[in-house]
Amino acid sequence: MRPFGYVSAPDVATAVRVVSTEPNAKFLGGGTNLVDLMREGVERPDTLVDVTGLPLTAIEELPGGGVRIGALVRNARLAADPLIRSRYPVLSRALLSGASAQLRNVATVGGNLVQRTRCPYFYDHASACNKREPGAGCDAIGGVNRNHAVLGASEHCIATHPSDMAVALAALDAVVELESVRGTRRVPLLDLHRLPGETPHVETVLTADELITAVELPHLPVAAASHYRKVRDRASYAFALVSVAAALHVREGVVTDVRLALGGVAAKPWRAHQAERVLLGAEATEEVFLRAADAELAAATGLPDNTFKIELARRTIVATLQELLTDGSAA
């Protein structure tokens, strides 16, 4: 690991000012991804600005019934919070399916959102990777690509976003609050991450000096009947091959509200808008669930090692919706 400077920020204003003035500076929260990347020489900041002492650790109920989550709330604490468990169970379940208990005790909400892909070619300096070195190429496309994207990929990158939490937040219409020396701005979670296109190294809409300070969840009654299903190679400490975050409300056999997002299949949390359009106002039947899944996956493109993900995603969407329907929570 190369030498770097270190600053412990006493407040948000200092944190964003230092990052805006120090060349190649980065914020340090839990460090569960950034420190690994520094060890591997993928991230090479000149200065780390430690934000763990900032007052961004509250989980607060908002007047309209929503919830505001500080960016430094630890993943384990968020998963166990009574408000989250009762109003947004999909988020609690997504968090508990991610990483390990030890990592969840350290990882923060803000850091979770900006963690980088676990594509092995991204970590391997002997491989071509446009995320690590723009213009180098993408060895994953012609290499081992079992874990890679089937939606929203490009000829320049097929890596997937690793977060479980972000998939649930995508289904919940979350909004991310950002702070910089220019002031505060709010970005819908669905707009935070970018698809690779021709610039896969540009992964979010954040500028280098913007700090995530909070995530807000709207009052969303349908979220009380929600579930997260993650399909992976082993029961714990593994990234999703496919995951589904779903919220469903059914009245007299008809879908009156639905939220659906996919993980493990794209470079960003994938909101399943096409599937939602098919479901809304339709009968809540397995046939309709299959038709919705097919509509969402019509644009999916597989490679030799990962084409199975398309059928796996189809089945996982249907199984998750069926579970919500049959356990009675969606009524």
d(CA 127, CA 136): 9
d(CA 281, CA 20): 49
For 136-191, give the DSSP string. S-BTTTTS--TTS-SSS-BTTB------SHHHHHHHTT-EEEEEETTEEEEEEHHH
CATH code reported for the domain at 5-53: 3.30.43.10
3 state SS of 217: strand
Q: What is the structure's pLDDT at 242?
A: 98
d(CA 34, CA 210): 16
Q: Count other C-beta atoms under 10 Å from residue 248's C-beta.
A: 26
Residue pair 289/321 in contact by the 8 Å Cβ criterion: yes
CATH code reported for the domain at 222-326: 3.30.390.50
Q: What is the structure's pLDDT at 328?
A: 76
Q: What is the structure's pLDDT at 330?
A: 83
3 state SS of 233: coil
169: Cβ–Cβ under 8 A, 6 or more apart, which residues? 91, 113, 189, 215, 217, 269
Give domain limits for the chain. Answer: 5-53, 222-326
Going from the C-alpha of 78 to that of each of 71, 81, 94, 179, 258, the distances in angstroms are: 11, 5, 11, 22, 23
3 state SS of 323: helix
DSSP structure class, residue 108: B
The b-or-e profile of 222-237 (16+ CB within 10 A means b, else e) is: bbebbbbbbbbeeeee
Backbone phi, then psi, for 74, in 5-degree steps?
A: -75, 145
Tens place of pLDDT per residue across the chain (331 aa): 789 999 999 999 999 999 999 989 999 999 999 999 999 999 999 999 999 999 999 999 999 999 999 999 999 999 999 999 999 999 999 999 999 999 999 999 999 999 999 999 999 999 999 999 999 999 999 999 999 999 999 999 999 999 999 999 999 999 999 999 999 999 999 999 999 999 999 999 999 999 999 999 999 999 999 999 999 999 989 999 999 999 999 999 999 999 999 999 999 999 999 999 999 999 999 999 999 999 999 999 999 999 999 999 999 999 999 999 998 778 7
Q: Count other C-beta atoms under 10 Å from residue 259's C-beta.
A: 23
pTM for this one?
Answer: 0.97
d(CA 231, CA 140): 22
For 39-75, give the DSSP string. HTTS---SEEEE-TTSS---EEE-TTS-EEEETT-BH
